[in-house]
Amino acid sequence: MNIFYDKDIDRSKLLAKKVAVVGFGSQGYGQSLNLKESGATVKIALRSGSATEAKVKEAGLEAISLEQAAEWADLIMFLIPDVQHGPVYKQYFEGKLRPGQALVFSHGFSIHYNEIVPPADVDVFLIAPKSPGHLVRSEYQRDRGVPSLFAVHQDATGEARELALGYAACLGSGRAGVIETTFKDETETDLFGEQAVLCGGAAALVKAGFETLTEAGYPPELAYFECLHELKLIVDLMYEGGLEDMRYSISDTARYGDVSRGPRVITADTKVAMKQILTEIQSGEFAREWMEEYRSGMPELKKRVEADRQHPLEVAGRKLRGMMSWLSGNKLVNRDKN
């Protein structure tokens, strides 16, 4: 596996290009500000009349229309939700790209599953920071960076690889490591991680633990602290030093409970379910299901998210977080700004 750092990367070709970032959500916010402060020429491409334009201006960036982006930019970075890539590309960019331009992504979904089929005379590559956009930004501001993956799907100019690495370095990822991969591997492993472990698996585990304690008569406040609040403390130890550092830091009692009881919760049946989830990702079944859900107005997603918003875990959490004033002082997510 090839890993690159700032010392290996020449940013000059990237810094000579004009970058249009499509969208200004979490990744759009973090990436565009890091690019600008690294010396890149960057503008935010939005639909005409978008309410997001005020946030763009407040951040010190310039907004242009999607129509202008197709003509102005050398690199067009898609940082809107995956499900919007195809419709936006078809309406604003298909048939309007000139030879030598680049389509850039932070997730390979729309290329891997053919939501976008680019012309042969443009570069296509991805830079995928391995963190939410707010951390991309906050780590850069601390003179650090988050690791990124990069992959080249199409190299029409012979410069796609150098441009991809330069882009990653401007995000701050050259400080942490830029790892080469493929669109296929990035897409499929990313989806699996989100569904089985990081979001789906972790959220389901937290809820199940909370429910087990409260159904046994324990106060929801205690259940919240034990099953959600303290999870960050454990994950921080794992983040810094893997399972080894986590187990070094906890008590002997916790360590024995970890290795003897954990496998009773995450069983062989759990792994069978994980393998089925991976198969659905690899076959394209999940992508087809998700696109159908999106195009029908996302009724299942909305229903499930709202049910979880009203879950006793979240009710208890909102109350307890309101008592912890330090949590609101420097939040990663500020919905008024990003």
Which positions are catalytic? 107
Q: Which residue has the tokens 């004009």?
A: 18
Q: Please say whether the beta carbons of 123 and 155 come within 8 A.
A: yes
* CA gap 133, 209 in Å, rounded: 29
* CA gap 338, 333 in Å, rounded: 7
Tokens read off for 242 = 């893997």
* CA gap 153, 41 in Å, rounded: 24
> HSE of 228 in the Cβ direction (CA atoms, 13 Å)?
23
Who contacts 104 (Cβ-Cβ below 8 Å, separation ≥6)? 75, 76, 77, 78, 124, 125, 126, 127, 164, 167
Q: Which residue has the tokens 């004033």?
A: 325
* CA gap 9, 172 in Å, rounded: 12
Dihedral sign (CA 332, 334, 335, 338): negative
Q: Please say whether the beta carbons of 175 and 6 come within 8 A.
A: yes
